Amino acid sequence: MAKILVTGAAGFIGYHVCRCLLSRGDTVVGVDNINAYYDPKLKEARLSQLRQFDSFYFFRNNIGDASGMSALMSAEQPTAVIHLAAQAGVRHSLSHPFEYVDANVRGTLCVLEACRHNRVGHLVYASSSSVYGALATAQFAEGDRVDEPLSLYAASKKSTELMAHTYSHLFGIPTTGLRFFTVYGPWGRPDMSMFLFAKAMLEGRAINVFNEGRMRRDFTYIDDIVEGVIRVADAPPTEATSDSSTGAPYRIFNIGSSSPVQLLDMIVELERAFGCVAAKRFLPMQPGDAESTCADVSRLIDAVGFRPQTPLSVGVARFAEWYRSYYGV
């Protein structure tokens, strides 16, 4: 089986990707710096699950350490890299902009350099639906214009796509960028809306509902994201399948449910799953947010024969079950 290096292995998506790879028999080299953007105890708990597999090897490294990443890649010689480490959060980027340049831009550059010098067969990396900004279209397609970001987070993610294309063109590294749409589910990030709402509801506090509840999001369940990531990782781009006019082995895919729902409808599902009614505080739109997102996944379907399909009601129920179990509430 394959040997795959996964950055951000202790993160939400990284943990689930590692677990799926390990379950199918791959060797996984996990990398994470366990930063304190949110409670490191949750990250350590995810890692404790992964350490139950004999074929999981973990390194506490900062991806922005160029020599460290190069040495690790040289020593481990992975066949592929799934790069999920990043500084996440649109709102956090408003007040901590340099963290996004350090982690997302410099960090990705260090990963690209390490791949370049160690003949990695495929680099899959996380982008974001945030790159679409306030695009006025029913569905976001990979060929749409994405040069008007609404946040530095979005700008940093677009930068990773541009750098990946450069390395695919100059050095022939097969790279695939994945634009994730509002991922949710068990072991999620505490800064995301579903997590914040659940905590407030169970503590009897009001939840903040921005844009007076008129937000629409393409909520995508974590298992669907993982399935998409791994199918794409197993199918590196070639000149024949390239999205680049230069023929570089470079591709971009959306991974989303293509079924956006209003924020208020998601809250109803949470109320049903937790058996309580949320007190709501309606607020204006926050800077950096897009009002609506929806993924066109036709390119993903054509390439790997998969589209996300977990209903929101099912995904929210699974999230609620995990939340109650993990936090003992």
3-class DSSP assignment, residue 188: coil
How many Å apart are CA 65 and CA 63, to the nearest integer? 5
3-class DSSP assignment, residue 182: coil
CA 324, chain centre distance (Å): 24
Q: Are 278 and 200 in contact (CB under 8 A)?
A: yes
Identify whether 132 is a catalytic site residue: no
Q: Are 295 and 233 in contact (CB under 8 A)?
A: no
| Token duo for residue 272 | 């049903």
Cβ-count burial 142-168 (b if 16+ within 10 Å, e if not): beeebeebbbbbbbbbbbbbebbbbbb
25 burial type by CB count under 10 A (0-12 exposed, 13-18 middle, 19+ buried): exposed
From the list 20, 32, 75, 30, the residue with the least C-alpha distance to 56 is 30
How many Å apart are CA 115 and CA 170, to the nearest integer? 13
206 secondary structure, DSSP code: P
Catalytic residue among 153, 184, 221, 250: 153
Please name the helix (run of DSSP H) or strand (run of DSSP E) that holds residue 176, with its range, or none.
strand 175-180
From the list 284, 122, 114, the residue with the least C-alpha distance to 208 is 284
How many Å apart are CA 105 and CA 155, to the nearest integer? 10
User: Dihedral of the CA atoms 52, 58, 63, 69 (nearest 10)?
Assistant: -140
| Extended beta strands in 21-92, E state | 27-31, 56-59, 80-83
As annotated, the active-site residues are 153
